[in-house]
Structure 1
Amino acid sequence: MKGYWIIFGSDVIDANAQQEYNRLWAPISERYGAKVRLLQPGVLVEALTSKRVLAVEFPSYEQAQACNIDPAYAEARLFALSAYKREMIIIEGDLA
């Protein structure tokens, strides 16, 4: 089964940090076969601070977990957390 990171995020507050995250994320996502999808604003029906939802699809749940603990991603994550407030869950399934 596929694996997903579901990321609930605020608006970007540090564009430079977001750019650095994107630069670091590109080779990581390629290595793990990850595909990022920004979900439509309407999917977020109850939120206190989140403004957007991202779904990052991986070929398997195991790859989603492995990417999350990869040291290269740990470095990238620091920039993501500086760029905007976010919360993330990892799930298994097929969101189609």
Structure 2
Amino acid sequence: MAKGYWIARVAVNEQALYDEYRRRNAVAFAKFGGRFIVRGGPFEGLGSSKPHNVVLEFPSFEAAKACYASTEYQDAKQYLLRGCEVDLVIIEGYDGAQPA
């Protein structure tokens, strides 16, 4: 079964609200098996970008979607939306053949 991913690009406008979002989102991420693959850090923008980038891995695409829809995440999300500009994609991973 393919894993699921959240790919987020974030511009933080109010750090205190983003800090509260991060404190609260941990509950949802733990419940649904979310694991950070990328959590900020240096990057090279090739086109439009935002200053903070995050990739979360979930055990499945269904778990990634369920996390987003959960009460726990919706509680956290209000702080994200009030303090940041965010682009978020929830996507299914690929389990097929790879280049040789």
Pairing of 1:72-87 with structure 2 (within 5 A): 72-87=72-87
Aligned partner of 1:8 in structure 2 is: 9
Gaps of 5+ in 1: none
Give the root-mean-square deviation of aligned CA atoms. 1.6
Gaps of 5+ in 2: 95-100
* TM-score for both structures, normalised by structure 1: 0.84
* Pair member with larger Rg: 2
Count of residue pairs the alignment pairs up: 91
- Identity across matched positions, percent: 29
Provide the rounded CA distance (Å) in 2 between the counterparts of 1:38 and 1:46: 20
Q: In structure 1, how many angstroms separate the alpha carbons of the residues matched to 2:79 and 2:56?
A: 17
The answer for the alignment partner of 2:58 in structure 1 is 58
Query: In the TM superposition, what whole-angstrom CA distance separates every residue of 1:8-43 from its partner, at most 9, and x where no partner exists?
Result: 112x2111111211111112111111112226412x
Question: SS of the counterpart of 1:85?
Answer: strand
Q: Is 2:48 the counterpart of 1:29? A: no
4+ aligned runs moved over 4 Å, structure 1: none
Q: Distance in 2 between matches of 1:83 and 1:93?
A: 29
Q: TM-score, normalised by structure 2?
A: 0.81
Q: Name whichever structure is richer in helix by fraction.
A: 1
Aligned partners of 1:25, 1:63: CA distance in 2, in Å? Answer: 15
How far has the Cα of 1:53 moved from its partner? 2.0
In structure 2, what residue type is equivalent to 1:2? K
| CA displacement at 1:63 relative to structure 2 | 0.2
